[in-house]
C-alpha cells in the first residue's frame, strides 16, 4: 500500500469508528430511556391485572433479553453479531458457562432465546440503571451471597425452568486468552443436576477495549456448544468439572481463525 492509500485507509477507519460511536451511544441512551420507562409501565400494569409474581419475573427477564438484543443491532453494519447453536434440540433449563472478553458480553446474552438470570460481579450491580433492573429480575450477586445461599437460590431458579448465565473468569480477559475459572457455577451444577452448556464468545476484544468505551468495527460470534449432562459429569468433583468445561471452551476458541 502506498503512503497516500495508507492515509486514506486510516482516515476512513477513523470516520467509521467516529460514526459507530456517535450513533451507537446516542441510540443506547434513547433506547435505554424508552426501555426503562416503557417496561416499568408495562410490567406494572401486567402485575396489577394478572397478580402473578412468577409471570411478572418472566416478563422482566424476557424484556431484558429483548433490550440486549436490540442494543446488539445498534452497531450494525459496522459491528455484526452472529449466534450459532450447535445443539438446537436440547431443552432448558441450563447453566450457561461463558468466556469473558469484554464489558459487552452481558448484552450478548440477548442472543439466547431462553428466560435467563445472570450471575453478576459487584461492579455491574452498582451501575445506576443496571443495578435496580438486575435486582428486579432476580439476578444473582454471587460475591454478596454465601455459597449456600447461591446454591439454594440457583437451584430454585433452575427448578422453575430459568437458565443461569455465568462468566466464571470473574472479570474480562481483554484478550483471546482464557483465564482461570471460579467454582461456584460447578458446585451449583453438582447440587442441581442441571446440564452445563459452554458458550464461546469471539470478536469482542475491541468492542470495547478494556478501560475504554470506544467501540471498533468487527464481527462477534456467540457459539452455544453441546451440553454436558449430569449423567456425564456426576462422578466428577467441582474442580474436575470446572476444568472439563474450561477445556471444552478453550478447544473451541483455539480452533477459530485469529
Give the span between the Cα atoms of 156 and 150, in whole angstroms: 10
pLDDT the model gives residue 172: 60
Q: How far is CA 96 from the centre of its chain?
A: 9
- Percent of the chain surpassing pLDDT 90: 60
Within 10 angstroms of residue 33's Cβ, the number of other Cβ atoms is 11
pLDDT the model gives residue 77: 93
- Pairing between β-strand 218-224 and β-strand 95-98 as defined by DSSP bridges: unpaired
Indicate the helix (H) or strand (E) that contains 124: helix 122-125
Residue 9: exposed, middle, or buried by beta-carbon count in 10 A (0-12, 13-18, 19+)?
exposed
Domain 77-254 listed as CATH 3.40.1130.10: yes
Give the span between the Cα atoms of 217 and 208, in whole angstroms: 10
Model confidence, pTM: 0.90
Tell me, what DSSP letter sits at residue 178?
-
Q: Where are the domains of the chain?
A: 77-254
Nearest to 158 by CA among 188, 186, 134, 133: 188
The DSSP secondary structure of 181-199, one letter per residue, reads PPSHHHHHHHHH-PPEEEE
Cell 452472529, located at residue: 82
Residues of the chain with pLDDT under 70: 1-12, 122-128, 171-176, 258
Amino acid at each position: 500500500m502506498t503512503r497516500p492509500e495508507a492515509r486514506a485507509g486510516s482516515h476512513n477507519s477513523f470516520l467509521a469508528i467516529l460514526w459507530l460511536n456517535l450513533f451507537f451511544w446516542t441510540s443506547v441512551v434513547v433506547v435505554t430511556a424508552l426501555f426503562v420507562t416503557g417496561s416499568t409501565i408495562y410490567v406494572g400494569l401486567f402485575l396489577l391485572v394478572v397478580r402473578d409474581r412468577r409471570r411478572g419475573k418472566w416478563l422482566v427477564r424476557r424484556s431484558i433479553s429483548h433490550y440486549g438484543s436490540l442494543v446488539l443491532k445498534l452497531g450494525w453494519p459496522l459491528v455484526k453479531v452472529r449466534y450459532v447453536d450447535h445443539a438446537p434440540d436440547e431443552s432448558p433449563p441450563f447453566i450457561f458457562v461463558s468466556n469473558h472478553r469484554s464489558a459487552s458480553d452481558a448484552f450478548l446474552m440477548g442472543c439466547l432465546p431462553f428466560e435467563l438470570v445472570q450471575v453478576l460481579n459487584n461492579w455491574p450491580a452498582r451501575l445506576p440503571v443496571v443495578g435496580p433492573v438486575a435486582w428486579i429480575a432476580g439476578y444473582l450477586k454471587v460475591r454478596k451471597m454465601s455459597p449456600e445461599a447461591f446454591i439454594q437460590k440457583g437451584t430454585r431458579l433452575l427448578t422453575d425452568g430459568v437458565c443461569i448465565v455465568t462468566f466464571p473468569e470473574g472479570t474480562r480477559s481483554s484478550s483471546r486468552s482464557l483465564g482461570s475459572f471460579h467454582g461456584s457455577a460447578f458446585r451449583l451444577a453438582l447440587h442441581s443436576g442441571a446440564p452445563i452448556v459452554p458458550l464461546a464468545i469471539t470478536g469482542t476484544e475491541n468492542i470495547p477495549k478494556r478501560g475504554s468505551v470506544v467501540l471498533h468495527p468487527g464481527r462477534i460470534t456467540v457459539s452455544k456448544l453441546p451440553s454436558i449432562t449430569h449423567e456425564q459429569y456426576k462422578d466428577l468433583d467441582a474442580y474436575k468439572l470446572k476444568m472439563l468445561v474450561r477445556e471444552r471452551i478453550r478447544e473451541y476458541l483455539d480452533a477459530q481463525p485469529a
